[in-house]
């Protein structure tokens, strides 16, 4: 293909999971779960673009995490009034992505076509954390002023906890049964709250500096926190006040992110953390020491996330805008050392720091957001894609390209990007109602 033809190639703007999901469920209803004489191609994707139709949902490849690695850039979404984004989350049903910006606004993006849907003013200061409950009926958001808000799925604000912390809140997380939640802040503390009445139950004090990240184990009565004092602490939330049951060492600088392994098919006994010493450490809760260590990031590690289907696939984002993917099982096979290497790297995923990484509940899409004031979407690679490593996210060649622009009626990139409208242009969403949107 000539260079002129290559320049005309436009990115696909829609990622529809309906066809592979429908095909997979039909085959399962017929009792076909493995390749046989009639379905030789089931679960097998040959290295040819025409076999893209054989690609099944991520759940069809439980032992092939490399197939489900989202390394292909799909779309860049940005508001008209651009602000840095510190928190994003997929809605529980996976139809939309919710982002929270430094202007205190919620923005909803379509999860299939990635276009703007609506915007609202949610907080008076920068939104720093967003978390949906396990029962999918509630949403928590926190801001830089130390305020926590409750939201219903239609974005009605039903409760506000003002002054929850005396400084910026950095993270929030629900307990496994959604009856409580934990928050951490730059005031050096974590707090456990009763979700039903919004009252504080206990204060977890033990860190000597800002607490940057926290997580509640999806099954156990266990909370983890990472702080600017370079320490990881494990807490027992059942005691009052909360008792620190273990302190994990190893980091040489601020711990910026920490997450329990939350994949259903995994043992859920691993804890991943990243810090400003450019390292990622994965701890085994049964051994209470790090079993995987990686120092391949060229700058500070800013965020991490586990894949929802594969318990051995870990993704990290850096302050330089890069993203790394790790396959934990393969890296240590036959090796005595604990060091692990990244399986795949996107060096220019964002133009500035990657602040948050969130996988789609089905695992076929990845949403990221950062200081460059954009939300970017990533999908699984097409088989034998000749342009797989020619994207500007791999080459950093932005001049003269329209890689992130919208398409016109003829399917060609336009000269200007179609940004999201301002807050004055509101449209109601089917199934969401009006709620607080447009106020």
- pLDDT at res. 159: 95
Is the pLDDT reported for residue 240 higher than 70?
yes
Please check whether residue 356 is in contact with residue 329, taking contact to mean a CB–CB distance below 8 angstroms.
Answer: no
Least confident of 67-81, 201-215, 320-334: 320-334
Residue 359 has pLDDT above 90, yes or no: yes
Beta bridge partner(s), residue 172: 183
pLDDT value of residue 219: 92
pLDDT in tens, 274-331: 999 999 999 999 988 888 999 889 899 999 999 999 999 999 999 999 999 999 875 4
Answer left, alpha or beta for residue 144, where phi above 0 means left and psi between -120 and 50 means alpha: alpha
Strand order across the 72-77 sheet: 72-77, 375-379, 365-370, 354-359
Of the listed ranges 53-67, 315-329, 355-369, the least confidently predicted one is 53-67
What pLDDT is recorded for position 411? 37
pLDDT in tens, 87-136: 999 999 999 999 999 999 999 999 999 999 999 999 999 999 999 999 99
Quote the pLDDT of residue 169. Answer: 96
Cβ-contact 387, 333 below 8 angstroms: no
pLDDT at res. 415: 41
Token readout for 184 is 């951490």
**Above 60 in pLDDT, residue 423?**
no
- Nearest CA among 226, 225, 259, 343 for reference residue 294: 343
Name the average pLDDT for the chain: 84
Task: State whether the Cα torsion 140-156-96-82 is positive or negative.
Answer: negative
- Segment 196-207, tens digit of pLDDT: 999 999 999 989
70-395 folds as Methylamine Dehydrogenase; Chain H (2.130.10)
**What per-residue confidence (pLDDT) applies to 210?**
93
Q: What is the pLDDT of residue 424?
A: 42
Write down the pLDDT at residue 22: 86
Q: Domain segments of the chain: what residues?
A: 70-395
């Amino acid at each position: 293909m000539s260079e002129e033809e290559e320049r005309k190639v436009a990115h696909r703007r829609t990622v529809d999971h309906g066809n592979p999901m429908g095909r997979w469920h039909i085959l399962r209803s017929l009792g076909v779960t493995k390749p046989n004489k009639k379905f030789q191609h089931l679960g097998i994707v040959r290295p040819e673009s025409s076999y893209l139709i054989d690609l099944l949902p991520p759940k069809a490849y439980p032992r092939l995490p490399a197939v489900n690695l989202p390394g292909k850039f799909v779309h860049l979404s940005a508001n008209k009034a651009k602000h840095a984004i510190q928190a994003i989350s997929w809605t529980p049903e996976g139809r939309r992505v919710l982002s929270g910006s430094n202007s205190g606004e919620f923005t909803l993006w379509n999860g299939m076509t990635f276009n703007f849907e609506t915007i609202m003013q949610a907080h008076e200061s920068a939104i720093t954390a967003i978390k949906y409950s396990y029962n999918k009926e509630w949403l928590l958001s926190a801001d830089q002023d130390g305020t926590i808000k409750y939201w219903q799925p239609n974005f009605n604000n039903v409760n506000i906890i003002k002054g929850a912390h005396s400084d910026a809140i950095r993270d929030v997380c629900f307990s496994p049964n959604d009856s409580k939640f934990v928050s951490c802040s730059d005031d050096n503390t974590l707090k456990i709250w009763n979700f039903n009445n919004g009252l504080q139950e206990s204060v977890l004090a033990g860190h000597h500096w800002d607490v940057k990240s926290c997580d509640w184990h999806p099954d156990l009565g266990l909370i983890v926190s990472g702080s600017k004092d370079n320490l990881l602490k494990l807490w027992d939330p059942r005691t009052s006040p909360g008792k620190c049951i273990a302190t994990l060492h190893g980091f040489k600088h601020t711990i910026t992110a920490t997450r329990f392994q939350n994949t259903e098919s995994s043992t859920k006994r691993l804890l991943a953390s990243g810090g400003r010493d450019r390292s990622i450490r994965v701890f085994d809760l049964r051994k209470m020491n790090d079993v995987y260590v990686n120092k391949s990031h060229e700058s500070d590690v800013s965020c991490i996330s586990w894949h929802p289907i594969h318990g051995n696939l870990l993704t990290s984002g850096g302050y330089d805008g890069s993203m790394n993917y790790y396959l934990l099982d393969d890296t240590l096979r036959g090796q005595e050392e604990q060091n692990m290497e990244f399986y795949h790297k996107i060096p220019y995923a964002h133009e500035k720091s990657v602040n948050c990484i969130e996988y789609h509940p089905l695992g076929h899409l990845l949403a990221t957001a950062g200081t460059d004031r954009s939300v970017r979407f990533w999908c699984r690679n097409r088989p034998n894609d000749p342009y797989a490593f020619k994207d500007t996210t791999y080459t950093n060649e932005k001049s003269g390209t329209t890689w992130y622009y919208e398409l016109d009626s003829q399917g060609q990139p336009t000269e200007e990007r179609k940004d999201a409208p301002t807050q004055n242009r509101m449209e109601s969403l089917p199934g969401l109602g009006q709620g607080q949107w447009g106020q």
